[in-house]
Amino acid sequence: MSQGIFGIIDFRNAIADRDVLGNAMAAYLKMSGRGDFSFSAGSGHLIGMQRSAADSPSRQTRIEHDPDAGLTAVIHGEVNNYRELLSQHPPSGRPCRGDLDLVLRMYRRSGASFARSINGLFTIGILDEREKTFRLMNDRFGLAHQLYWTVADGRLIFATHLKTLLACPGVRRELDHEGLNLFLKYAYITSPWSILKGINKLPPGHMLTFRDGKAETVPYWQFDAVTRPDMTMEEAIPAYRDLLRGAIARRMGSDGSTGVMLSGGLDSSANAALAASCSSTPVKTFAIGFEDPRFDERPFARIVARHFGTDHHEYTITGREIDDLPSLVWHMEEPYFEFGLFLAYMGLKSASGHVQAVIGGEGADQMYGTGGFAGGRPAAVHYLFRKSGMIGPARGVSRLLRGPLFYDRDNLGFQMRLFWNRAADLNDWYFYGYDGHELSQLYKNDSLARVPRIFGEAEGSPESFAQVYQETQIEQDMRHYVNENVMVKSGRMADMLGLVLRESFLDADVADFLVSLPMPVKRGGGLVDHLRGRFKSKLLHRKAMEGILPPEIMSKPKQGGFVPVMIFLNDPALRKRIYDRLLRSEVMGEYFRTDYLRTLFEKYESFQQGPVGWPNFLNSKANRILFLLTFDIWHHCYLANAPLGVTPPSLNEYLG
């Protein structure tokens, strides 16, 4: 049910066999897509686009041309502020045909800088035949699809799907171990790396310019620093509430076919409340829960659904969903296995038969610096290490935290290692994957175990904890985590299920406003409070929702947002089949030590014999097995076979 764009650009040499190349690259979208497919070809280019109208009359579903100016435009995604932009750029002469027509008008007037004014999740490509230039622009949050590209013999080849890119003759399929190691450590692969050598991903907020046979990528947009340092809470509350309501109104569509993902937490409940206020009919809401009450938020989702009269739907994750893993890997296109994968998948799957589009709450934690890297104590301790000049010695201590006490026991030593490493080096914040020490043991050739450092070193002594927190929130939570993980996961799953994904908290106006505010408006407590773990998160959001959300929601602690992945390995018979598969796997045997794998599996079996003290200890151990299984499945689908020739089996079938 995919939509997307692709193309080949070569201004220096005429592209021979354009029909053959175009048909090869169009095969995936035509096979699995929905909406209208359009194609444009000239002596030096071929470009394809598949897009549905969804519930928006301004969405153009065909490639747009301006023959007088020599321009051609394609888009994947949405322009949510189309009406506002149209009023700012009124058409002269004929009426505007839709969002792509508007894009070309804006490009003619403002050049490539026009993209900064678009509020939405998008990738836009513009071919300028007069200037012999082709440009690709990703929105600030990287859309739902990372854009793959490569240059071969002076020719740019790009696509929103890796399957589409690999269908082009001449594109290499060779494993990149740095990309693989990013996955094994972080659970996903951040741009500009990909899992394949020579194939790059366009980072969020960046523009790729291709001319004279060369591609250059530069950021075209940056988050500003705090620009409203004196704004009070009393001033911020009504402004924020209006912005969030406006963001949801822009995303609701016009025919009642947009639903809301409702976890029962503060963010999704706010979405449901404000969506209900924008709709004359009951809004459809979708909740996911678990049999284990420690992780189940459905009781809170029901409170919200009753309070706002939504048409409510629920699904319970049991662990049996792991049987869909090969299909998910095939659709994700790169190795990916993060705590929220099956939560996003089952939530969107439960909505797919009822609505065309869904509003999600992704990014809210990162907008407030409450999730991911900008945690409470680790960020505070990191600040103290930097302020005191002890960051180097602290990293030296990290290298001493080795041995079974810190890796293989469900104790304070295990938790201390994770905390210390995270505070000493923000590159060592990860979802309980393999760290560098473990990778060097896993590989047969430890020279292949290098993990790229995705964050640069901080320079000098910071002025304040608030400064460090703001830097961490913007550079890591927002630019990295929400872009490279959260949005990729949710976007790919929505694409798989034929849904349009819309994010209220990633609205450009909402995001710009939140970033502009000083830390005390967004987060309560100073350095000491964070060290003691007594800070208050999402301060403005909580204040703005008072009197709107039921009191039970206002007072509930943070609970969900992930799946306890250990439930996928509850069945001893399934575990044994996974172990057997990985031990006989050719790619496992080619790169990894069999004795290490056997020990890994034996230890996991021993952990089943005793009580679980800290759930994330067992989750981390389950992750290590599931990461390897995911990579094995991906290799089968994308390297051992041509991906378009693979019909993803169930996990039961895959294990044999």
The model's pTM is 0.94
Name the one residue in this structure whose structure tokens are 């890119």: 165
Torsion of CA 604, 606, 611, 612, to 10 degrees: -20
Residue type, 633: I
For residues 38 and 194, is the Cβ–Cβ distance under 8 A? no
pLDDT at 562 (0 to 100): 67
Q: Is the pLDDT of residue 273 over 70?
A: yes
What stretch of H or E contains 496?
A: helix 487-496
What is the sign of the dihedral through the CA atoms of 511, 515, 520 and 523?
positive
User: What letter does residue 380 receive in the DSSP assignment?
Assistant: H
* Cis bond before residue 404 (omega within 30° of 0): no
Query: Confidence class of residue 565 from pLDDT cuts 50, 70 and 90?
Result: confident
Phi, psi for residue 646 in degrees, rounded to 5? -105, 130
- pLDDT tens digit sequence for 45-93: 999 999 988 778 899 999 999 999 999 999 999 898 999 999 998 887 7
| Tokens (6 digits) for 327 | 């299909």
In the chain the first and final C-alpha atoms are separated, in Å, by: 28
8 Å CB contact between 395 and 549: no
Q: What is the CA radius of gyration of the chain?
A: 24
Listed in sequence order, the residues at least 6 apart from 398 whose beta carbon sits closer than 8 Å to its beta carbon are 417, 420, 421, 424, 425, 428
Segment of 316-325, 340-349, 598-607 carrying the highest mean pLDDT: 598-607
pLDDT 10s digits, 596-642: 999 999 999 999 988 888 888 999 999 999 999 999 999 999 999 99
Residue with tokens 């992780």: 295
Contacts of 588 by beta carbon, 8 Å cutoff, 6+ apart? 582, 594, 597, 628, 632
Q: What is the mean pLDDT of the chain?
A: 91
Query: Whole-angstrom Cα distance, residue 150 to residue 159?
Result: 10
| Distance of alpha carbon 609 from the chain centroid | 36
What mean pLDDT do residues 159-177 have? 95
With beta carbons less than 8 A apart as the criterion, state whether 284 and 310 touch: yes
Mean per-residue pLDDT, 287-296: 84
- Provide mean pLDDT across the span 504-523: 91
pLDDT in the model for residue 235: 96
Q: Residue 655 has what pLDDT? A: 97
- pLDDT of 127 strictly over 80: yes
Angstrom distances, CA of residue 470 to CA of 193, 535, 538: 26, 15, 14
